[in-house]
Amino acid sequence: MEEKLQSIDIISGIFGKSVKKVIERSTKKPVKMSPTIQKVPKISLRPDVGCFVQFSGDYNGLVVMNYTGSSAMCLYNSYMLAMGIPEEELAKDYTSSEVPDTIGEITNQIMGQAMNMVEEKYSLSSFCGQPKAVALNSEITLIIDSDYRDNRRLVFQLDTTRFYMEIALEATEFITLSKL
């Protein structure tokens, strides 16, 4: 018996492909994505660097990107070096403002790519504001005043470091008319 995927799993897969595509393109390095999507009870900004962005339109949700200090620095360094910035000009610590700023910019690119992919596949559009990225000492749980009961986590690897995308989506089901 074939398992029917929930819309959040489909959207999570599309967003995951976007993460992989954008980061590989902007760092010139391979990104591994776990083939497992985790169902989680809540999404949170976690130390050391977290970035969040809400999206709304034909479908609504929230995306959080979480990085350890080492994964944030790996992404930041790879991104900046791929752009031709000399190594001696790079920030030395994930708490430097340049690191969360860069992660926010990369997250913005990821969101644009992901929303374009959803629009191509389903002819549904959504828009997001500017992602907010911060260096953190402790976990912050995000609770949106909306019906976001479905939450997923995806795991990625760049070099030897891991980072995470967490996604919350309103209760929705995508049903294509060709299947009716």
Q: Which CATH number characterizes residue 46's domain?
A: 3.40.1550.10
pLDDT at 1: 43
Beta carbons within 8 Å of 51's beta carbon, 6+ residues apart: 45, 64, 65, 66, 100, 103, 104, 107, 131, 132, 133, 134
80 pLDDT more than 90: yes
Largest CA distance in the chain: 59
Judge whether 52 and 61 are in contact, CB under 8 Å: no
* In a domain? residue 29: yes
Domain count within the chain: 1
Alpha-carbon distances of 169 from 100, 109, 129, 163, rounded to whole Å: 24, 19, 16, 20
Q: 108 in helix, strand or coil?
A: helix
Residue 141: which of 39, 46, 8, 38 has the closest Cα? 46
Judge whether 69 and 49 are in contact, CB under 8 Å: yes
Question: What percentage of the chain carries pLDDT values higher than 70?
Answer: 94
* In a domain? residue 1: no
Range of the domain at 107: 7-179
> Which range, of 15-19, 62-66, 170-174, averages the lowest pLDDT?
170-174
* In a domain? residue 130: yes
Using omega within 30 degrees of 0 as the cis cutoff, is the peptide bond preceding 147 cis? Answer: no
65 pLDDT more than 80: yes
Structure-token pair, residue 140: 């912050």
pLDDT at 150: 86
The average confidence (pLDDT) of the chain is 93
* In a domain? residue 30: yes
The answer to whether the predicted template modeling score (pTM) of the entire model surpasses 0.85 is yes
* In a domain? residue 80: yes
* In a domain? residue 2: no
pLDDT at 174: 86
pLDDT at 60: 92
* In a domain? residue 67: yes
For residue 145, name the pLDDT band (cuts at 50, 70, 90): low
